[in-house]
Chains A and B, each alone.
Chain A
Amino acid sequence: EDQVTQSPEALRLQEGESSSLNCSYTVSGLRGLFWYRQDPGKGPEFLFTLYSAGEEKEKERLKATLTKKESFLHITAPKPEDSATYLCAVQMKTSYDKVIFGPGTSLSVIP
């Protein structure tokens, strides 16, 4: 069964304390992996798409990496405004558009 899990479920960081969020997936052929940010009561906001193992993407304090089984979202020197839920989603090669979302990691950055 195609599955996406994320860890940890919740993470509290001090401002400036770097860390990583994990997304593990078991799918029958990966077409793409996506990272989104979701603020409370809002829709997901697109961050990155990764297509193949070894690929890396960066945006401000965020860097996403991809291996054959998992992806990491590295947050360097986070600020309170980085507090949000970070969602991972995968699209299988057997799908045109359907994606499977993970449950998310709720990140709190304390000043």
Chain B
Amino acid sequence: EPEVTQTPSHQVTQMGQEVILRCVPISNHLYFYWYRQILGQKVEFLVSFYNNEISEKSEIFDDQFSVERPDGSNFTLKIRSTKLEDSAMYFCASSGEQGYYEQYFGPGTRLTVT
């Protein structure tokens, strides 16, 4: 069964460093998303991406964040200058045109900023 994959599973970085979280969505999907979940808190929408551009972003997705689909398979989230409060689980998700609202989530990357 096709699935969304994410790498790395755990990333530790120092405050102020840049990190890139990587995702491989399901191959025939067209819509891509990033979410985050701070430990013990709700899942929060960050950004959606379609047709090589951002469709929508939340208030959380400020100038330190960026997304990119550098090739036909990868979807990345870059955090330019990490802060302690960026520590969270980051989930990538994708959906296809047939099931636009049916989002398939990856296993997540746990980001720890020290």
Binding site for B on A (CB under 8 A): 32, 34, 36, 41-46, 49, 87, 89, 91, 95-104
- What 0/1 readout, one digit per residue, does chain B (63-96) give for beta carbons within 8 Å of chain A? 0000000000000000000000000000101000
Number of residues in B with C-beta < 8 Å to the partner?
22
| Contact with A98, one of B4, B41, B56, B105 (Cβ below 8 angstroms) | B56
| Contact with B55, one of A96, A100, A101, A102 (Cβ below 8 angstroms) | A96
Q: Is the interface of B mostly helix, strand, loop or mixed?
A: strand
Q: Do residues A44 and B91 form an inter-chain contact, with CB atoms below 8 A?
A: yes
Nearest A residue (CB) for B103: A46
- Asked whether A42 and B107 contact (CB < 8 A) given A89-B43, A101-B42, the answer is yes
Q: Do residues A96 and B48 form an inter-chain contact, with CB atoms below 8 A?
A: yes
With A and B bound together, what is the CA distance between A91 and B33 in angstroms?
14
| Contact with A43, one of B55, B56, B105 (Cβ below 8 angstroms) | B105
